[in-house]
Amino acid sequence: MNSFISMIRNGYSDTIPVWFMRQAGRYLKEYNEKKGRMTIKEICMDPELIAGISYDPVRILNVDAAIIFSDITIPLEALGYKIEFLPGGPRIINGYIKNHDMKDIIYFEESNFKYKIYDAIKIFKEKYHFPLIGFSGGLITVLSYIIAGGPDSNLNLTKRSMLSDDKFNDYINIIKDMIIKYIRLQVRAGVDAIQIFDSWLGYLSPQTYENYIKGHIEEILSEINVPVIYFSTGTSSIIEKLSRLNVDYISVDWRLDMKLARSMVNKKGLQGNLDPLIAAYNLRYALKETSDIINAAGRSSYIFNLGHGVIPETPVENLKHIVNFVHNFNQ
C-alpha cells in the first residue's frame, strides 16, 4: 500500500510519507510551462490540465501524495463573489467592504460552481491511481479574503468585523456552508483525504478562537468522512486545542519544535514542518533540520511536509533530495 494512505489511515508505514504544500507551483518549470499565460481560473476550467498539473510533482519529486490543483477562493464565485487573481494574491471585488449587505450573494450550490474540480479529481484517480488530497481554505482564512477583499494584514479588518459587527455571523454561515459543500464535492469525486488550509488562524488569541470560531470549525469537521489534515500557521500555542478537534492530522508550521508538538497533539497525527525558506536556500542545513524533525516527530502517525507552501525560489533539486532523504531515513 502507498505510504501516505497507510499512514493517514493506520498511523504507520514502511517509509515516512512525504508531500509538499504548493508542490504544484511556480518553483516548477513544468508548472510554468503548462500554465503559460493562463489564469488560475482558466486552468480550473480544464479538468485534464488540473489533473496533469496535480500529478507532475509526483512524477518529478517522487512524493507520496498529490493535492488537487486549485485555489482556496475558487468556490467563492458560486456565491456571487467576483474574484481576480493578482500577483499579490486573489482580490474579491464585491467583498465585505464594498458589499456589506451581501447583495447578490447566495449560498453555495453545485449547479452554480462552474470550475472542473470534480471532473479533475475523477480523471486524476482514473488515470493515475495515486493518492490525492482535496482541500479547502479554513473558515477564518476564507472569511479574511471576503472581509478584506484580499490579504488582510494582521487580520485587522476581519477581527474588527468579528468583534464589532453582528453581520459577521451571516458571513460565517455562508462561508461555513460553502466549505462543507465544497469538501463534500471533492470527497464524492474520490479524494483520499482533505487538508484544510487555515493559514491565518494564528492571528486569533486562544480565547478568541474558543469564543468565536471553534464551534463553527467543529461543525465543518463533523461533515467530513475521509481523513482530515488541519493546517495552520502561528498556532503553536493552540495546537493542543486544535488536536482535540475531530481531525486526524495536525499540520504545524516551522515555528514549533516537533518534540513539543508531539507532546501536545493528544495522539493525533502530525504533519510538517521544515521551514520552506530553509528548503529553498540551504540544502545541507535543510537535511539536518529534516533529520532533527523526523527524530523529534517519531515515525508513527507522521507525514513529512514543509511548515508552509514551497516558495517560488526553491530549486527542484532541493526538494528531490529532501524526498529521497525522508524515504531513506533510518533513526
Which residue ranges are tagged as binding site for substrate?
A: 22-26, 71, 145, 199, 308
Cα–chain-centroid distance for residue 297? 20
Q: Please pick, from the candidates 9, 160, 299, 320, the single residue that binds a copy of itself as defined by CB under 8 A.
A: 160
**Contact with a copy of itself (CB under 8 A): which of 159, 181, 214, 216?**
159
Among 94, 282, 300, 324, binds a copy of itself (CB under 8 A): 282
> Strands across the sheet with 269-274, in order?
66-67, 132-137, 193-198, 228-232, 249-251, 269-274, 302-306
Closer residue to a copy of itself in complex, CB, 46/289: 289
Interacting residues with a copy of itself between 225 and 264 (CB under 8 A): 234-238, 254-257, 260
Please pick, from the candidates 205, 222, 263, 295, the single residue that binds a copy of itself as defined by CB under 8 A: 205
Contacts (CB under 8 A) with a copy of itself, residues 87-126: none
**Judged by CB, which is closer to a copy of itself: 25, or 131?**
25
Answer yes or no whether residue 316 interacts with a copy of itself by CB under 8 A: no
Using rule CB under 8 A, residue 128 touches a copy of itself: no
Q: How far is the CB of 285 from a copy of itself (least distance, A)?
A: 6
Based on the shown chain and the rule CB under 8 A, indicate whether residue 78 belongs to the binding site for a copy of itself: no
Within 10 A of 86 (CB to CB), how many other CB atoms are there? 8
DSSP per-residue letters across 85-149: EETTEEEETTSTTT-TT-TT-----GGG--STHHHHHHHHHHHH---EEEEEE-HHHHHHHHHHS
Are 136 and 183 in contact by the 8 Å Cβ rule? The answer is: yes
The DSSP string of 29-53 is HHHHHHHTT--HHHHTT-HHHHHHH
Q: Does 206 bind a copy of itself (CB under 8 A)?
A: yes
What is the CB neighbour count within 10 angstroms for residue 15? 15
Binder among 28, 121, 280, 323 for a copy of itself (CB under 8 A):
280
Query: Cβ-count burial of 104 within 10 angstroms (0-12 exposed, 13-18 middle, 19+ buried)?
Result: exposed
Q: Binding site: what residues are annotated?
A: 22-26, 71, 145, 199, 308
- Partners of 89 in the beta sheet? 86
Q: Rounded CA gap, 74 and 82, in Å?
A: 10
Report helix angle 117-128 to 168-189, nearest 10. Answer: 30
**Contact between 26 and a copy of itself per CB under 8 A:** no
Residue among 77, 170, 219, 289 that touches a copy of itself (CB under 8 A): 289
Cα separation of 264 and 49, whole Å? 40
The DSSP element (H or E) to which 317 belongs, if any, is helix 316-327
202 near a copy of itself, rule: CB under 8 A? yes
Residue 266 found at the interface with a copy of itself (CB under 8 A): no
Does the protein bind a copy of itself through residue 86 (CB under 8 A)?
no
Residues at the contact surface with a copy of itself, assessed by CB under 8 A: 154-156, 159-160, 163-164, 202-208, 234-238, 254-257, 260, 275, 277-278, 280-282, 285, 289, 292, 307, 311, 313
